[in-house]
């Protein structure tokens, strides 16, 4: 819906008042778009940017600030009243970190190249002795210009790009993109494809949760669990490769359906995997839960308050560990989850331990979902050809990290005119800055891993 300045400003005011949540905010030359979650429904607003200007949303609602800085960089849109006008994704100008004043403060710059095998980003700590007084993140190092590459891309190439926004969530991204394209062109994927997609999505969640729970244990110097959870992750990836031909299942989900069908042998492998996780996982969790030295590190560390999680509409385990009961599989919901039984675990504590626990519980749910999906897998084709037609579509898909938003505008020749993909990390990264405050510097890796935000997904 194209709106006037006053309606746009009113929407920003409603976000500020907490009456609606910000789902996405993006631009293109000449106009800006916003998606809101209001009464469990997603609404979009568009505004024409006369002279490249529009009223800043971040002025009233801080979660929008980084998005608007990115829109400035990418499309030259000027948000009137934006409180922070430093570049964000572009790094052409010297960067001014926020000043910190006070007695006996010192700064610790970290990155962009980090000590471990992780993505690049810069963290500027201001510390008072051991205690973090402020963390300021600087991101954008892996900005690849994905949105620009999407503009005008043939559908097949665009789908491959979507699957490479954040490699750990390649299934979820490909799915979000496919949903948006299908909404734009009115194509319906066959039932079997819909169920196979869900199988892949749950496998991806399982692999990431297993790996990351182990990595959190590793950052708390508990290596045994890291090894064991890592072994489970490897079993998931090998099963995925056997079933769908690729360990991370890249390019398996495409607009119109899926690329690879699941043979009987693959179904058997998935049942074996589900049984394996059911037998191994609980005893590992028991060790986690009964190891005081480990809990000592994770309980009470890096607390994110429910108020902040709600303000930023934080998705995934970051939100659900701080009382925000949101899961895109339920709201707005998509097939086939309406026909499946699963819980969305929520706790209030908001610390590292709570984020681990949410993921522990979600592993159980994903295994149960995989079993349900296998038990009632529809037969039939796995792909429906889309007739090229112009149109717009959007989608919200629950990746392991949280809700991924996709918006696409298709041209009549079947190419993508514009596409925007919003990673859940946009609303989680700023919260990490808040959660680390008052913790010791040495606990940062642990807090960071418990959030596990995406750099590439965010930097686009």
Helix ranges restricted to H, 259-340: 264-290, 292-298, 306-311, 316-320
165 binds, among another protein, ligand SF4, none (CB under 5 to 8 A by kind): another protein
What is the number of alpha carbons within 13 Å of residue 459 lying toward its C-beta? Answer: 20
In the numeric block, the tokens 């929520």 are attached to: 346
Binding of residue 391 to ligand SF4 (CB under 6 A)? no
Among 157, 164, 247, 280, contact with ligand SF4 (rule: CB under 6 A): 164
Q: By the 8 A CB rule, do 35 and 43 touch?
A: yes
x/- letters, 334..353, toward another protein (CB under 8 A) = --------------------
Structure-token match 């002025």, residue found: 59
Decide: is 452 part of the binding site for another protein (CB under 8 A): no
> Can you tell me the distance from the alpha carbon of 406 to that of 177, in angstroms, rounded to the nearest whole number?
6
Q: Of how many residues is the chain composed?
A: 460
Tokens read off for 29:
């030359």
Measured from each CB, the residue nearest to ligand SF4 is: 164
What is the phi/psi pair of residue 411, to 5°? -90, 165
Among 231, 289, 325, 381, binds another protein (CB under 8 A): 231
Distance of CA 351 to the CA centre of its chain: 19
Nearer to another protein by Cβ, of 311 and 456: the residue is 456
Contact segment (CB under 8 A) with another protein among 11-19, 242-250, 293-301, 356-364 equals 242-250
Q: Does 191 bind ligand SF4 (CB under 6 A)?
A: no
| 287 is an interface residue for another protein by CB under 8 A | yes
- In order, the DSSP letters of 70-84 are HHHHHH--EEET-S-
- CB of 272 vs another protein, minimal distance in Å: 10
Interaction between residue 275 and another protein (CB under 8 A): no
Residue 421: name the closest of 440, 407, 403 by CA.
407
Which partner in ligand SF4, another protein, none is near 212 (CB below 5 to 8 A by kind)? none
If one asks whether residue 330 binds ligand SF4 (CB under 6 A), the answer comes out as no
User: Measuring CA to CA, how many Å separate 391 from each of 146, 180, 190, 415?
Assistant: 21, 10, 21, 11
Distance (Å, rounded) from C-alpha 263 to C-alpha 166? 28
Least Å distance, CB 112 to ligand SF4, is: 16
SS3 292: helix
If one asks whether residue 230 binds ligand SF4 (CB under 6 A), the answer comes out as no
- Smallest CA-to-CA distance from 321 within 345, 293, 337 is with 345
Q: Tell me the two tokens of residue 99.
A: 């000043």
Residues 118-137 within binding reach of another protein (CB under 8 A):
118-120
43 near another protein (CB under 8 A): no
Residues 72-91: x/- map of binding to another protein (CB under 8 A)? Answer: ------------------xx
Main-chain dihedrals φ then ψ at residue 106, nearest 5 degrees? -135, 160
Instruction: Work out whether 144 is an interface residue with ligand SF4 (CB under 6 A).
Output: no
What string marks each residue from 150 to 169 as x (binds another protein by CB under 8 A) or -? -------x--xx--xxxxx-
Task: Identify what 160 binds: another protein, ligand SF4, none; CB under 5 to 8 Å per kind.
Answer: another protein
Q: Which residues bind another protein (CB under 8 A)?
A: 90-91, 112-113, 115-120, 140-146, 148-149, 157, 160-161, 164-168, 170, 211, 224, 227-228, 230-231, 233-234, 237-238, 247-248, 250, 283-284, 286-287, 290-291, 454-456
């Amino acid at each position: 819906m194209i709106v006037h300045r006053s309606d746009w400003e009113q929407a920003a005011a409603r976000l500020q008042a907490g009456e609606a949540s910000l789902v996405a905010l993006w631009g293109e030359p000449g106009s800006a778009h916003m998606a809101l979650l209001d009464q469990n429904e997603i609404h979009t607003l568009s505004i024409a940017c006369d002279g490249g200007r529009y009223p800043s949303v971040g002025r009233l609602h801080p979660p929008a600030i980084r998005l608007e800085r990115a829109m400035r960089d990418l499309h030259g849109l000027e948000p009137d009243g934006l409180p922070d006008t430093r570049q964000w994704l572009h790094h052409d100008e010297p960067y001014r970190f926020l000043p910190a004043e006070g007695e006996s403060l010192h700064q610790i710059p970290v990155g962009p190249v980090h000590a471990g095998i992780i993505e690049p980003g810069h963290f500027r700590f201001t510390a008072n002795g051991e205690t973090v007084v402020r963390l300021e993140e600087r991101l954008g190092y892996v900005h690849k210009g994905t949105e620009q590459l999407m503009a005008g891309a043939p559908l097949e190439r665009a789908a491959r790009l979507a699957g490479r926004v954040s490699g750990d969530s390649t299934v979820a991204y490909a799915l979000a993109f496919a949903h948006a394209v299908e909404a734009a062109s009115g194509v319906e994927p066959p039932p079997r494809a819909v169920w196979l997609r869900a199988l892949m999505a749950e496998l991806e969640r399982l692999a990431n949760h297993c790996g990351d729970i182990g990595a959190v244990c590793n950052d708390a110097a508990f290596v045994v669990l890291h090894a064991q959870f890592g072994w489970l992750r490897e079993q998931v990836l090998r099963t995925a490769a056997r079933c769908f031909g690729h360990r991370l299942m890249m390019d398996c989900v495409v607009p119109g359906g899926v690329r690879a069908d699941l043979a009987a042998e693959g179904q058997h492998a998935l049942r074996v995997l589900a049984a394996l996780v059911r037998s191994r996982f609980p005893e590992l969790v028991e060790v986690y839960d009964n190891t005081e030295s480990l809990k000592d590190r994770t309980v009470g560390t890096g607390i994110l308050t429910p108020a902040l999680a709600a303000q930023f509409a934080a998705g995934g385990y970051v939100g659900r560990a701080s009382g925000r009961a949101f899961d895109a599989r339920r709201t707005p919901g998509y097939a086939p989850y309406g026909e499946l039984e699963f819980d969305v675990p929520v706790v209030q504590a908001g610390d590292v331990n709570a984020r681990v626990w949410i993921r522990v519980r979600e592993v159980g749910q994903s295994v149960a979902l995989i079993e349900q999906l296998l038990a009632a897998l529809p037969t039939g084709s796995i792909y429906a050809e889309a007739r090229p037609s112009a149109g717009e579509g959007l989608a919200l898909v629950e990746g392991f990290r949280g809700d991924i938003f996709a918006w696409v505008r298709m041209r009549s020749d079947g190419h993508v005119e514009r596409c925007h993909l919003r990673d859940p990390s946009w609303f989680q990264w700023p919260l990490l800055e808040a959660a680390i405050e008052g913790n010791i510097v040495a606990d940062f890796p642990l807090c960071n891993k418990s959030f596990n935000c995406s750099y590439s997904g965010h930097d686009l």
